[in-house]
Structure 1
Amino acid sequence: MSTLAPRVSTLNALAPLKAWWPILIGLLVLYGPTYWMLAHGLWNTDEYAHGPIILVVTLFLIWQQRAVFMAGAGVPPTRVEAATGWVFLVFGLLAYAVGRSQDILLMEVGSQIPVILGALLVTLGVRAARALWFALFFLLFMIPLPGFVVDTATGPLKQYISVIAEQALYMAGYPVARSGVMLTVGQYQLLVADACSGLHSMFSLSAMGLLYLYLMERTSAARNLIIMAAILPIAFAANVVRVMVLILVTYHLGDEAGQGFLHDFAGIMLFVFGLLFLFALDGVLGFIFPDRRRARAQV
């Protein structure tokens, strides 16, 4: 009896999860090919290299809320919750079918949010969806940006970065001139390409900044709003510094150094510095808007 008791208790603990095995298998069948395609395509580019990180963090956030699946398994959803869930589920499946058949990654990848939300509402109800809201929201950062958004934002960003970099280096005494987004420093000419616009850096830093706020659970609304408002300016400033660093590297060390390893390394380091600056800003704001810890409910 003593040997069987632990096994029985373990099986009883896992019993509420049995209803989710068909759903998990269905999600793997649907989105396994999608993730395989992303892993061998879009995620190998600099612009969307954050995709695997978003996926891993989302799985971690869901695992953190695993108690929801255990506690809510015995409480069936209401008719309204189930009906709403079916609406989201059907909508998500239709979006997936269109995206998959027409090779529209925006719809194919984005469809997983209404699909998962619908499955949660149908099986566990609003309580589970509310507990996992940030995990679902975080999946938005995995969706590729629409082409018209990239085209609209890239041009002005490159222009602003070129102007600021030129003016700052000229004031520092460097022989730099600008024609549009083409910068001339000494005998070298550098084009501020689309990848240097900082759009995707803003996207990635926004994801990490919002994740940081979610995990920290700050109680001060003013502190949270200031940090959220600072994310995009910090990302933009970090990218301006990146372009200036590459110009200086090219000027002092040559074109090969500026376009080689240091080019990619500068992007990584300045993204890290952007995050560190965000953390430092949060620390400073902590003195102005002290954080009051919320009392956690005892389960």
Structure 2
Amino acid sequence: MASTLTLPTTTARVRPLADVRLWLVLAALVALYAPTVSWLWERWTMSVWHNAHGMLIPFVVAYFVRDELERYDGPVEEGSAWGFAWLVPALAMHVLDGAMHTQLLSAASMVVAAPGLSWLFLGPSRSRAILFPLLFLAFMLPIPLGVTERLHLALRHLTAGGVEHLVPMFGVPLFRDGLTLLSGESRLLVADACSGFSTLYAAMTVALLTAYFCPVAWRRVLVVVAAAPIAIGANILRVSLLVLLVRTYGNGVLETWMHEGSGILTFVLALPLIFWLGTPPQSVAKEPATQG
């Protein structure tokens, strides 16, 4: 009877100690990565053309990690030292970035560190259950233009070609000279900001997350495959709208809120459609036999 009474007491003592260690580690990491978080915030808030969706990713990840842990019904294990297999390389990346001053490498190290902390404090089983949401943090990272320069150029040509065919359907004559769209006295250059890369990045991010939680296998494939065409199509509509606005109000319209507002329009068009494609009807979603 005595041993039965002392076991909960021992457990009660160990758990607060683990919580204290966790908070101390988190406080140290917050101090360590504060400059990197500040840099990320500057990139996220630069404009809608520069990875603006990245600021939402940590909150989305936190929500789904909590949801997965609440639904978890497996064994509750102690933390594992295998977490250092993630944490040590992450800290090495951060130290290396201190010499290179890229900030991007340090930001990437935060993504690598997250599973390591989970393994250390939650144990292997629960960490595997939330591994996808944790690695999903990678989508908060801005992608340097130098890495995606060729993709930007390809997207710009796709957009210009699409606008060339779409705008005349509204009875407006349009001539295309490479990446420059001419309509009457107005001209619009399809620059990097008009390539739609930001919309494509956000669309693929949402598509992968939607596919992960979709219970129907064929819909998972559909939503991932359809994300890029939807994003490109939404951007073609946006640039077509800009061409019509420029023709009506002149090039000065590009200096107004309508320019960035049209960028938000692409997200409004693309993201709900992706959610819809990846969300099966309730009657189908509840059928265990149809789950992938």
- TM-score of the two chains, using structure 2 as the length reference: 0.83
Q: Residue 5 of structure 2 aligns with which residue?
A: none
Q: Residue 224 of structure 1 aligns with which residue?
A: 220
Counterpart CA distance in 2 for 1:225 and 1:156 is: 24
Counterpart CA distance in 2 for 1:218 and 1:267 is: 28
Q: Residue 35 of structure 1 aligns with which residue?
A: 37
For the residue of structure 2 that corresponds to 1:184, the secondary structure is: strand
* Change in 2 beyond 3 A, CA 1:51/1:170: same
Does residue 243 in structure 1 map to residue 239 in structure 2?
Answer: yes
Q: Residue 55 of structure 1 aligns with which residue?
A: 58
| Structure 1: gaps (5+ residues) | 1-7
Q: Residue 195 of structure 1 aligns with which residue?
A: 193
Q: Residue 44 of structure 1 aligns with which residue?
A: 46
Q: Sequence identity, in percent? A: 28
Q: Residue 18 of structure 1 aligns with which residue?
A: 20
Deviation at 1:114, TM superposition (A): 1.8
Determine which of 133, 136, 154 is the counterpart of 2:134: 136
Amino acid at match of 1:135: P
Deviation at 1:146, TM superposition (A): 3.6
Does residue 90 in structure 1 map to residue 91 in structure 2?
Answer: no
Counterpart CA distance in 1 for 2:169 and 2:54 is: 39
Q: Is the 8 A contact 2:211 2:278 kept in 1?
A: no
Counterpart CA distance in 1 for 2:144 and 2:187 is: 31
Q: Is the 8 A contact 1:43 1:50 kept in 2?
A: no
Deviation at 1:116, TM superposition (A): 1.8
Determine which of 182, 185, 189 is the counterpart of 2:183: 185
1:156-195 equivalences in 2 (<5 Å) = 156-195=154-193
Q: Residue 5 of structure 1 aligns with which residue?
A: none
For the residue of structure 2 that corresponds to 1:44, the secondary structure is: coil
Superposition RMSD in Å: 3.0
Counterpart CA distance in 1 for 2:125 and 2:271 is: 33
Q: Is the 8 A contact 2:174 2:181 kept in 1?
A: yes
Deviation at 1:197, TM superposition (A): 0.5
Deviation at 1:97, TM superposition (A): 1.2
| Structure 2: gaps (5+ residues) | 1-8
Amino acid at match of 1:64: D
Counterpart CA distance in 2 for 1:279 and 1:182 is: 34
> What per-residue deviation string (whole Å, max 9, x for no partner) do you get for residues 75-127 of structure 1?
335xxx524x2222111111111123312233111111221212222333321
Amino acid at match of 1:290: V
Per mean C-alpha deviation after superposition, the further-off stretch among 55-64 and 171-180 is 55-64
Q: Is the 8 A contact 2:219 2:277 kept in 1?
A: no
1:199-218 equivalences in 2 (<5 Å) = 199-214=197-212, 217-218=213-214
- TM-score of the two chains, using structure 1 as the length reference: 0.81
Q: Is the 8 A contact 1:238 1:274 kept in 2?
A: yes
